[in-house]
Chains A and B, each alone.
Chain A
Amino acid sequence: MFEATELSFTYPSGRRGLLNVSLSGNPGDRVVVMGPNGSGKSTLLRLVSTELRSWAGSLTLFGKESGASLPVQRKRIGIVQDTPVHVEDLTGLENALLFAELYGVGRAVAARAIETLFASLGLDEALHVLTKEYSYGMNKKLLIAEALVHDPEILILDEPALGLDPPSRAALLRILEERSGTGVCTLVATNEPSLAQELATTVVLLDEGEVVAQGSPSELLAKVGGATRIEVHVTGSATSAALAELPEDLVSIRRLPGRIVAESKTGPDALPRLVQAVLAEGFTIERIELREPDLTDVFTLFTGRTLGSKKT
């Protein structure tokens, strides 16, 4: 469906957008791109959606070079941009019909599809409401409906769950999985590890325009060893070196300002021994956090930074 090989893009200002990115999406694939702000996620999506049209490397859509038959390629793609934009003086239905007709879907067919989509997304009561009265989340759902109304073969979504309430988020995941089952290839950019883990067949981690890791969520999580992360938030200072001898079931212990971070092979079972050791060192424990590893830990493993931090 789409294939990028050694794809690079530089903005007119000289800022690097992407550098030698290779990835592909086949029918039914759900490719999720993660990375910090400015890492190139949206640039990649804008290239695959044909919005940006000058690049180095190779980019094919539906087996042909991107842009080779632009109107046809565009009609086979559905796009959910990060910022929802609509004609404010039209209702939700009228906006959705506008985009359906621009995509070439007949009015009657589109009207039926829109009603179904609005119902699935919990937007049916806002069908005849002007979009200037819509909330951000409602606008986002309308954008999703508009991107799906022409049954695209490639679906591109930039932060699709941003602003959605939990039922709408669940509905979105359900719809994307259903579409995937019919052969739709989905390309998503997000910073939500849970969304990526729930949705992705392939995760691509981007940093400063380059791919730092790529694989299925389970493959990537295996790289961090599946260890439970225990964060003990402390006050005071160490008076002994009780933590110097690593308890057997802990993979690592790191002393950070105000906290001690440990990784456990045995999940919460290691907690009592760790607490004992921390107290023995002379610290006062304020609170303890346990977290299963997620894709942000994979990103940290490959870049040495958290997903939200900048390179120094």
Chain B
Amino acid sequence: MTVVVWRTEWLTALRRRRLFLLNTLIPLAFVATIAFSPAPAVHSAAVFTVLFTLFGTFGSSIPLIRDGESGLLRRYILTGVHPAVLLFQHIFATAAIDLIQLTPSIFVLAIARGSSAAQLAMVAPAMVLGMIAANTLGTITAAVAKSVAEGALFSAVAALVLLHLSGAFRTPAPGTWQAVLEAWSPFRPLHESLLAATGAGGPDLETALLTLPIAATLAVLLLVAASGRHAAGLGGR
């Protein structure tokens, strides 16, 4: 199987130059405003985590819903290609595009808050994992949404709930059931690494922090694959 959907995602993203530029500049302007302000690190990190996660979730969900509504997704599926192949290529391509568009924001954040190279080295894998998870979440919300408006609502609510369960909006409570959930959340490394990079310190950032979230993300991707055409939003059609 060729990577034809991956290639199409890249081609269309690069051809929509205005949108590509806006997707780079708008988060950059938002991140710069907060990063250069005296906002406390704990709040800044939470806002950045929300921004990056919603960026990934919406960016995956809304185009998929549009392709579903227009009938394009149905045309893809009727070629006999497995829906999981389409979705994986879509998820990884849009996650990669998101990462490129958000890289300037990360650098501005690092400059503004004086992040160390070690902290940035932790942000990088956390961002990769966070964007893959956010784009997967977007794919799942697209599958259950029946319109772009519903998709936006489901994406926002699902992402915010998951971020809350990742500990992005509260102080850590070791030993509780919330702590167990946090350990598996793919958004926790993103939040923790951004917390460190914005100057709040926090727990030691070790690669072990990524292990359980990577396992959780892989498990969700496998579930998406197993859901077949239901995951492409075509279950009942």
Cross-interface CB contact of A89 among B11, B74, B78, cutoff 8 Å: B11
Given contacts A83-B71, A85-B72, A89-B11, contact A50 B4 (CB under 8 A): no
- Given the known A-B contacts A71-B80, A73-B80, A89-B11, are A101 and B2 also in contact in the complex, defined by CB atoms under 8 Å? yes
Can you name the residue of chain B whose Cβ is closest to the Cβ of A12?
A: B236
Q: Which residue of A lies closest to B81 (CB)?
A: A102
Nearest chain-B residue to A72 (Cβ)? B80
Contacts of B16 in A (CB 8 A): 89
User: What is the interface size of chain B, counting residues whose CB is below 8 A from a CB of the partner?
Assistant: 20
Q: How many residues of A contact B (CB 8 A)?
A: 29
Alpha-carbon distance between A94 and B14 when the two chains are bound, in angstroms: 14
For residue A87, which residues in chain B have a CB less than 8 angstroms away from its CB?
A: 8, 12, 72
Q: Once the chains bind, are B80 and A85 in contact (CB under 8 Å)?
A: no
B88 to A: closest C-beta gap in Å: 14
Complex Cα spacing A32 to B4, Å: 34
What residue in chain B is nearest A146 (Cβ atoms)?
A: B75
Within 8 A of B (CB), among A90-149: 90, 94, 97-99, 101-104, 107, 130
Contact of B71 among A71, A85, A97 (CB under 8 A): A85
Partner of A94, one of B11, B78, B79, B81: B11
Chain A nearest CB from B231 CB (Å) reads 15
Contacts of A51 in B (CB 8 A): 74, 78
* B143, chain A: closest CB distance, angstroms: 17
Partner of A79, one of B72, B78, B81: B78
Name the residue among B70, B72, B79 with the largest chain A CB count within 10 angstroms: B79
B36 at the binding interface (Cβ < 8 Å): no
Cβ contact within 8 Å between A71 and B78: no
Point out the residues of chain A lying under 8 angstroms from B82, CB to CB: 71
Chain B residues contacting A97 (CB-CB under 8 Å) are 4
A202 to B199, CA, bound (A): 76
B residues near A90, Cβ cutoff 8 Å: 8, 11-12, 15
Residues of A near B4 (CB, < 8 A) are 97-98, 101-102
Per-residue CB contact flags for chain B residues 1-35 toward chain A (1 = under 8 Å, else 0) read 01011001001100110000000000000000000
State the CA gap A73–B8 with chains docked (Å). 25
- In the bound complex, residues from chain B placing their C-beta under 8 Å from that of A70 are 80
Q: Roughly how many angstroms separate A79 CA and B72 CA in the complex, as a whole number? A: 13
Task: Tell which of B12, B74, B79, B236 touches A102, judged by Cβ atoms closer than 8 Å.
Answer: B79
Which chain A residues in 39-86 approach chain B with CB under 8 Å?
49-51, 70-75, 77, 79, 81, 83, 85-86
Smallest CB separation, B58 vs chain A (Å): 19
What CA separation (Å) do A74 and B236 show in the bound complex? 19
CA distance A73 to B70 in the complex (A): 24
CB-based contact B79/A75 at 8 Å: yes
Q: How far is the CB of A28 from chain B (nearest CB, A)?
A: 23
Contact of A74 among B2, B8, B79 (CB under 8 A): B79
Complex formed: what's the CA distance from A279 to B78 in Å? 61
Task: Please measure, in the bound complex, the distance between the C-alpha atom of A62 and the C-alpha atom of B214, giving whole angstroms.
Answer: 43
Of A12, A50, A99, A104, the residue contacting B75 (CB under 8 A) is A99
- Cross-chain pairs A/B with CB under 8 angstroms, 29 sampled: A12-B236, A50-B78, A51-B74, A71-B80, A71-B82, A73-B80, A79-B75, A79-B78, A81-B71, A83-B71, A85-B70, A85-B72, A85-B75, A87-B12, A89-B11, A90-B8, A90-B12, A94-B11, A98-B8, A99-B75, A99-B79, A101-B2, A102-B4, A102-B5, A102-B79, A102-B80, A102-B81, A103-B79, A130-B15
A residues contacting B by CB (< 8 A) are 12, 49-51, 70-75, 77, 79, 81, 83, 85-87, 89-90, 94, 97-99, 101-104, 107, 130
Known pairs A77-B78, A87-B8, A102-B4; list 18 more (Cβ under 8 Å): A50-B78, A71-B80, A74-B78, A74-B79, A75-B80, A83-B71, A85-B71, A85-B75, A86-B72, A87-B72, A89-B15, A94-B8, A94-B11, A98-B4, A99-B75, A99-B79, A101-B4, A103-B80
